[in-house]
Structure 1
Amino acid sequence: MPKTALQREYGRTPAALPSTSLVELLRGWLPRQRWFAGKGRRVTGLTILSSTELSPGCLHLLVRAEHLGPPAHGGTAVPAPADWYQLLLGVREMLPSRLAPAFIGRVSVGPLNEMVVYDALHDPTAAGLLLERLRSPGSVGPLRFERDARVTLPAGLTARLLDVEQSNTSLVYGDSFILKVFRRVQPGINPDLEVPWALARQECSRVPAPAAWFRTSQPQEATLGVLQPFLRDAEDGWTLALRSLTAGEEFGDQAHALGRATAEVHLALASAFPVEVPSRAERRRLAVAMSERLDATARSVAELQRYASGLRGAFDAVARVGTSRPSQRIHGDLHLGQLLCTGQQWSLIDFEGEPARPLAERRRAQSPVRDVAGMLRSFDYAARSRRPWRPEWAQRCRDAFCAGYAAGAHWDPREEPELLRAYETDRAVYEVLYEARHRPDWLPVPMAAVRRLAENRETSKP
């Protein structure tokens, strides 16, 4: 039988690659990746959960990584919950220079002795396999590839890796589609598939509809990736906001439009999913969860400890004060980078929520005020990323966003000051932990908000 192009290019099949060789290579490689959740923590155990050969020279893996968590009260690190990661591995005798950044290691024992293993999502040929599988739905081992039958997926679209800082990996195919490959995988349907699919049925034009997706059934059902139309001429809100700041221009009209777009999506979500009126007990549980995240972060980031008692007051107020707003499905991680502008149209993307939080929590009905608080924090981030700092610019953006939201939703989030302050505080605490782990130079940005919120100054001020 003639060899395929992949067989000719890659050589031997990885099917016989010994798991012990993979484990040793991945144990050292995983912690260095941008999307690895256990930053700064030693991997104490690594297990291959599933291994599927997509084609000769290309192997799909799910691995389970165990690592130590932050120190407990006694100062001793304790095991953290294990994480699952999705990998697409390639195998070659020699790695070309263009794939040098994808290098994982060279096998030293077994039938693939001296073969190179690398991250195949960096390889257009290997990455193209995923699109071809999505074009022809079906199963490969535990993997299931599916698509919307109404969408045409052309053959032969060239794959390129989207080189942006994020917790997943995105591939663009011919400037027509974008595939988000979830690196950290959790059992269950991912909101980045569930929510846009539901909104498509609501005919909500603010969110690109899924064109195709793939999932696994082993060791449990989980979403692995989602393909959507690529808005190639779009610019994200973060880029536009920074451009405005650099030019000394106002951003109020855009912020107002962002607020209105967010409100429209919230209304569509309230129609697509059940809504709930939170009880006093549920508000207490929310306050407790926020306080626990604060305590855990303060143990990891010493700079936060002096403000903890002041911040906790915002959470206590949530338990005491009622709210007129029902809980519903929301975006969950809304900021300027999650909104794209094409012409005059704003679209919302990336409904995965905060990847560090459990999937069940991200799929839970929550207050829409949480998304509003995320956007208010994002305007503050933008203002502090340029010198001189322009707090009045951020304030005008925050007011314009809330006014736009009120125009679209027919209620103003500033009418819920205790809830807005609590969610903004919770978001700032999340940012402190994120920046401390991933971008220490940015830590002063959320810490400035922490100081303000701990002093309980007016919620709307940046």
Structure 2
Amino acid sequence: MSEAVTRTVSAPPGLLASLDPLLREWLPRQRWFAGKGRPVTGFTPVSVTELLPPTATLGLYHLLVRARQPLAAGHGGQEQQPGDCYQLFIGVREALPPRLAPALIGHVTRGPLAGRTVYEALHDTRPAELLLEALRTQARIGGLRFERDPRREIRSGLVPRLVTAEQSNSSVVYGDTYILKLLRRVVPGVNPDLELPLVLAREGGTRVPPPTAWLLADAGAGAPGPPAAEPYVLGVLQPYVQGATDGWELALRALAKCEDFLADARALGRATAEVHTALARALPTVSLGHPQLRSLVDGMTERLHAAVRAVAALRPYEAELRSAYTALEDLASEGYEWTAQRVHGDLHLGQCLRSPAGEWSLIDFEGEPARPLAERRMPQPAVRDVAGMLRSFDYAARSVDPPQADWAARCRAAYCTGYAETAGRDPRTEPVLLRAYETDKAVYEVLYEARHRPEWLPVPMAAVRRLAGSGAADPT
């Protein structure tokens, strides 16, 4: 592929229709599919791009499709509109070699690919190599735009490998040099997973790997109907932190060896504060007075009501949990104000990497994918990220038998101490705000675990009992 490739492509007619029955079965089984529990009734194309024309050995298609599903019970069985949009990489072969057996989607029986086998192409070396080469050369293929930071060169010829750990997206590592995160559930607009690391790179920070390249799609290219006003952010290429271990794994190792985690927790608090300070310096901050806090509290209360309706175990604690939110509104009505800024939005131990030299990095600024993009980009009190990390220490401590509540409490305190050393303010000096955000996070966790991992439900329920009974964010 030569420099600055621009290629106009058109997918064969009937391609999506021929894949439809296979994708209906395959898509709901994927970890990153958000509509579990409801059947897929069909697909609406957003864009269909031929990256490699199918030959006797290999073909490759890039799809953005909206999955049509019936709405939840109580909506009369009507189909969801417009439907979640997913990014798919479809490989085409005559037959799959044994190494690609786990990637099988199915065998096409009709349409332009009849008689061929289709599979998840990111498992395959050649399609993954093509993506890196397209980013390196800043290719334009149909409605896809492969862009990169002109100050950063991309090496070619690196061997790709798909990260097989369970993720809400997909990641490909190239050698030990880059990692390409490909978003699966996508929406048009500015995605904070690209936006915030770019901002932090301009600030000269070292706590977040700077974006090297990124993949965009002009929404609606090659599909019927007018295109969306903003492109889709589909993927981000960043330096790979060689030899790094994520905080969740490190915490579990420490627990297994009956070791404390205090030095790491404190250093992680300092790293979080560095990122918050840089974001507040680079992007606008706002003051949250009574009207803004009332809106925030209303959102928390609505999420609590929805969770209580769905999870019966929450009902005995509803009134006490709601008091965490009303206490915050009471302070706001007395004239208290808080500062809001851009934050990570979904911070936990798994979103933090420690290098072999002991330096901590923060990754994955996408926020909670289930929430609207506009909400994920809104300024929030920095304590929201702090609350997420405090809950993560609790999760780690309660994932072992017997649970180590004292271990979690010490780590939580060390994290807040480290944060205060860099930020100049201790999150524990705002207990009402911290309790409200930690309660909101625990309620979210209860609903998630009840739906997806019922065996984990006792972990957030223990936090619910503590938050409802103590009236404080931390028992220490």
Taking structure 1 as the reference length, the TM-score comes to 0.93
AA matched with 1:356 = A
Aligned 8 A contact 1:14 1:91 in 2:
no
Match of 1:427 in 2: 441
Instruction: Give the deviation of 1:433 after TM superposition.
Output: 2.2
Aligned 8 A contact 2:393 2:412 in 1:
yes
AA matched with 2:67 = A
Question: 1:89 and 1:277 mapped to 2: Cα distance?
Answer: 47
Among candidates 343, 363, 386, match of residue 377 of structure 2? 363
Match of 2:155 in 1: 154
Match of 1:311 in 2: 321
Question: 1:315 and 1:251 mapped to 2: Cα distance?
Answer: 31
Instruction: Give the deviation of 1:214 after TM superposition.
Output: 0.7
Match of 1:58 in 2: 60
Instruction: Give the deviation of 1:80 after TM superposition.
Output: 5.0
Aligned 8 A contact 2:11 2:49 in 1:
no
Instruction: Give the deviation of 1:79 after TM superposition.
Output: 5.3
Aligned 8 A contact 1:208 1:347 in 2:
yes
Match of 1:390 in 2: 404
Instruction: Give the deviation of 1:387 after TM superposition.
Output: 1.3
- Report the identity percentage: 58
1:335 aligns with 2:336: no
Among candidates 34, 37, 46, match of residue 37 of structure 1? 34
Instruction: Give the deviation of 1:14 after TM superposition.
Output: 7.0
- In structure 1, the gaps of 5 or more residues are 5-12
Aligned 8 A contact 1:310 1:454 in 2:
yes
Match of 1:8 in 2: none
Alignment of 1:396-411 (within 5 A): 396-411=410-425
Instruction: Give the deviation of 1:276 after TM superposition.
Output: 0.2
Deviations 1:149-187 (A, max 9, x none): 111111111111011111000000111100000000011
Seen in structure 2, the aligned counterparts of structure 1 residues 334 and 77 have a Cα distance that, compared at 3 Å, is: farther
Aligned 8 A contact 2:188 2:219 in 1:
no
Seen in structure 2, the aligned counterparts of structure 1 residues 305 and 29 have a Cα distance that, compared at 3 Å, is: farther
Instruction: Give the deviation of 1:368 after TM superposition.
Output: 0.3
AA matched with 1:119 = E
Aligned 8 A contact 1:373 1:424 in 2:
yes
Question: 2:458 and 2:24 mapped to 1: Cα distance?
Answer: 32
SS of the residue corresponding to residue 397 of structure 2 reads helix
Seen in structure 2, the aligned counterparts of structure 1 residues 194 and 437 have a Cα distance that, compared at 3 Å, is: same
Aligned 8 A contact 1:169 1:180 in 2:
yes
Match of 2:245 in 1: 235
Deviations 1:199-257 (A, max 9, x none): 00000111100000011111331100000000021111111111111111111111111
Match of 2:460 in 1: 446
SS of the residue corresponding to residue 180 of structure 2 reads strand
Aligned 8 A contact 2:18 2:112 in 1:
no
Instruction: Give the deviation of 1:306 after TM superposition.
Output: 3.2
Taking structure 2 as the reference length, the TM-score comes to 0.91
How many correspondences in the alignment? 449
Instruction: Give the deviation of 1:62 after TM superposition.
Output: 0.3
Aligned 8 A contact 1:210 1:229 in 2:
yes
Aligned 8 A contact 2:18 2:110 in 1:
yes
Instruction: Give the deviation of 1:459 after TM superposition.
Output: 1.6
Question: 1:160 and 1:396 mapped to 2: Cα distance?
Answer: 38
Aligned 8 A contact 2:60 2:127 in 1:
yes
Aligned 8 A contact 2:354 2:361 in 1:
yes
Match of 2:176 in 1: 175
Instruction: Give the deviation of 1:69 after TM superposition.
Output: 4.3
Seen in structure 2, the aligned counterparts of structure 1 residues 301 and 114 have a Cα distance that, compared at 3 Å, is: farther
AA matched with 1:44 = T
Aligned 8 A contact 2:387 2:434 in 1:
yes
Among candidates 255, 263, 282, match of residue 253 of structure 1? 263
Match of 2:225 in 1: none
Match of 1:92 in 2: 93
Seen in structure 2, the aligned counterparts of structure 1 residues 80 and 445 have a Cα distance that, compared at 3 Å, is: farther
Aligned 8 A contact 1:287 1:316 in 2:
yes
AA matched with 1:112 = L
SS of the residue corresponding to residue 286 of structure 2 reads coil
Deviations 1:119-175 (A, max 9, x none): 101111111111011011131111111001111111111111011111000000111
Aligned 8 A contact 1:274 1:328 in 2:
yes
